[in-house]
Amino acid sequence: MISMADLQDIKRFSLVLFDLMKELNCGVEGMELYEFRYALHNLEPQAGWSSIQPVSMTEIESMVGNRAFYDGIQIKPKMDGQIVLDEPIKHLSQMLLVGLATGAYPLNWVHQHFYFDIRGFYFLHRTTYLTEAVINHFGGQPYREFEPKQRELNCTQSIGYKEFKQANAEIDDCFIDLVKVLIHAKGTPILLAIAGQTAAGKTEIVDRLREAFEADGQKTTSVELDNFLTDRDERERKGIFTQGKQAYHFDLFIRALEDICHGKQISIPHYDTVYATSSHDLDGNLKLGGVPVVIEPADIIFIEGNFPFLYKEVLHLIGIKVVYLTDDPIRLKRKWRRDIDYRRKYEPTYFRNRFFKDQFIMAEIAYRPQMEVCDILVDTTGATLWVAPDVIRLIQQK
């Protein structure tokens, strides 16, 4: 540890931090000290590290546990024409680094409340998903537990599909078997809604479920909730997190589900993930040159997205409600690989600001409420499968 007075000695400060950060994130072991110093320099305050005065741990916990803090985060702040890390995010990381080096913040406290992303080189708050209300909804204990193999990914800076799939193999196989039993009990046609955060693995698990059902001779199709999103510029202009279902062509979504449940072919909007635009205007009309998505009826209709059963207007249409959950640090590593390296979907610092801002808000308004009403919760990071008591009883009767 060093004193506050020694913070001006950047070499000593960075060396102390380097050793501490290895304990906080094993991935730092893969860095050389000079690489660590390169990254640390990007966070250095203009007035030097000695200008950072860490506030109390109680104050920090109160700040990062308050929705207002995240509402105030800007995702596109600029300096000299370039997007920069938003000041509250940057200042939080600066305080945590100084607090660690000086001993103001114990390592175990920092680890309890925050995780460090090496590639973004900043701290993010740990989101709590399994609240008491969620656990009580599932009768207080998981239906099945497995070895949490995602721990093997802790030291990586980004995660590809292959590693993620291998880590989830056991829990995914059990989940697929469970859904097959449940659909046999409920009958078809049936809407199977899978909610989950961005990069949680929703699309991949739907693909595996589809393969399993089609191998049994059942026809499947998917309705992606994201296709009903309105243009991103419009959502951000109005405030994406305060709109709720207004961020979607919601009337078109309800009508599409009703029609496909009655065996009708449906034509839905198409959302371009690269340009973040919809094929339909805000009134639900097809834009000039827009091409809709045509979906044929099927035995099993998958609905995937962030909010498939958040709203009461949808609940009566859905036969099985699933939340496919992956913890934030793993998803962030997946998004670095998928959205930055491969898809080149975001400017990197915009991406850092947006991910930091989104997780607390989305957990509060979307994921925890759906976890409190869903039939099955697949926690891939915790390697636990949670099943609602009434669903367990239905399965046991068959």
Give the count of beta carbons closer than 10 Å to the beta carbon of residue 46: 5
Residues 118 and 145 in one domain: no
| pLDDT given for residue 77 in this prediction | 96
pLDDT digits (tens, 9 = 90+) for 162-211: 999 999 999 999 999 999 999 999 999 999 999 999 999 998 999 999 99
Per-residue pLDDT averaged across 72-100, rounded?
97
Is 91 found in the same domain as 32? yes
Residue-wise pLDDT for 270-296, tens only, equals 999 889 999 999 999 999 999 999 999
Q: Are residues 113 and 213 in the same domain?
A: no
Residues 117 and 141 in one domain: no
Residue at a domain's end among 125, 160, 182: 125
Is residue 78 included in any domain, yes or no?
yes
Per-residue pLDDT band for 236 (boundaries 50, 70, 90) equals confident
Is residue 6 predicted with pLDDT exceeding 90?
no
Would you say residue 241 has pLDDT above 70? no
Domain membership flag for residue 340: yes
Confidence class of residue 240 from pLDDT cuts 50, 70 and 90?
low
43 and 144 share one domain: no
Residue position matching structure tokens 């989101």: 127
| The pLDDT value given to residue 137 | 98
Domain shared by 93 and 214, yes or no: no
Average pLDDT, the chain: 94
Instruction: Quick: pLDDT tens for 111-139.
Output: 999 999 999 999 999 999 999 999 999 99
pLDDT value at position 243? Answer: 59
Residues 189, 306 share a domain: yes
Are residues 96 and 146 both part of a single domain?
Answer: no
The tens digit of pLDDT for each residue in 12-43 reads: 999 999 999 999 999 999 999 999 999 999 99
Asked if residue 198 belongs to a domain, the reply is yes
CATH number, position 380? 3.40.50
Report the percent of the chain where pLDDT is more than 70. 98
pLDDT for the residue numbered 8: 87
In angstroms, the CA 22 to CA 177 distance is 40
Q: Is residue 327 part of a domain?
A: yes
Last residue of a domain, one of 125, 155, 186: 125
Residues 65, 205, single domain; the answer is: no
pLDDT above 90 as % of the chain: 87
Range of the domain at 106: 4-125
30 with 117, same domain: the answer is: yes
pLDDT at 4 over 90: no
Inform me whether the pLDDT recorded for 68 exceeds 80.
yes
Mention every residue, 6+ apart, whose C-beta is less than 8 A from residue 163: 153, 156
Residue 236 is assigned to a structural domain of this protein: no
Q: Please state the domain count of the chain.
A: 2
Do 198 and 318 reside in the same domain of the chain? yes
92 and 28 assigned to the same domain: yes
Q: Band the pLDDT of 398: cuts 50, 70, 90.
A: low
Q: Note whether 394 and 185 are within 8 A (CB).
A: yes
In this predicted structure, the answer to whether residue 386 has a pLDDT above a threshold of 60 is yes
A 10 A CB-CB count for 383 gives: 20
Residue 42 within a domain: yes
d(CA 355, CA 302): 26
Domain final position from 125, 157, 172: 125
